[in-house]
Amino acid sequence: MNLHVEWSRPIQLKDAREENMIYGLDPDRVTDGAGVYIFGRRWGSRFEALYAGKAGNIRSRLKGHLNNVGLMQHLHNAKTGRRIVLVSCLASSLTMGTTAADRLEAYPTGQHCQDICETGHWPAGW
C-alpha cells in the first residue's frame, strides 16, 4: 500500500461569538475527504499542537468539533498565539472499493502528527 498525505495551508480559526460559538472557520477551505487534522496555536515561526484527530470526512468532523465546548475552551485557554487548524487529505493506492474508514485505519496518524509537531517550528513558506 502506498500512502500520500497532502497538507493544506493553515486555516485560522475566527472569533465566532456572534454565532454563539467560541471559534469558527470557512468550511469551503476544508476538504470533505478522509485525512488527519491538527488544532493548534501559532506564534511567530513556532507551532504547538493542541488536538489531533482523523476522520473519513474532515469537514463534517471539524464542524462537530467547533460545537464541542470543552475542546474549543481548551484551544481558547492555551497560551498566546493564533488558533489554527492544519488539514491533510489522504490519498492512497488502495483499491477503489476500499472505504474511507479502511484507509484511515491503515494510516499511522500519531506518527505523522508527531513528525509535523515534534520540532515546534513552522514550515518555511507557510
CATH code of the domain containing 100: 3.40.1440
Q: Which domain holds residue 10?
A: 3-117
Residue 56 located in a structural domain: yes
Residue 99 located in a structural domain: yes
Residue 126 located in a structural domain: no
pLDDT per residue as tens digits for the range 81-102: 999 999 998 775 543 345 545 5
Pair 33, 89: CB distance under 8 Å: yes
Residue 125 located in a structural domain: no
4 strand-pairing partners: 91
Structural domains of the chain, count: 1
Where is pLDDT greater, at 84 or 106? 84
pLDDT per residue as tens digits for the range 11-58: 999 999 999 999 999 999 998 889 999 999 999 889 999 999 999 999
Residue 85 located in a structural domain: yes
Residue 96 located in a structural domain: yes
Residue 24 located in a structural domain: yes
Residue 92 has a pLDDT of: 59
Residue 122 located in a structural domain: no
pTM: 0.72
For residue 17, give Cα distances in angstroms to 13, 20, 38.
12, 5, 22
Lookup: cell for 53: 484527530
- For residue 36, give the nearest of 52, 51, 54 by alpha carbon: 54
For residue 19, give Cα distances in angstroms to 2, 13, 67, 111.
42, 14, 11, 35
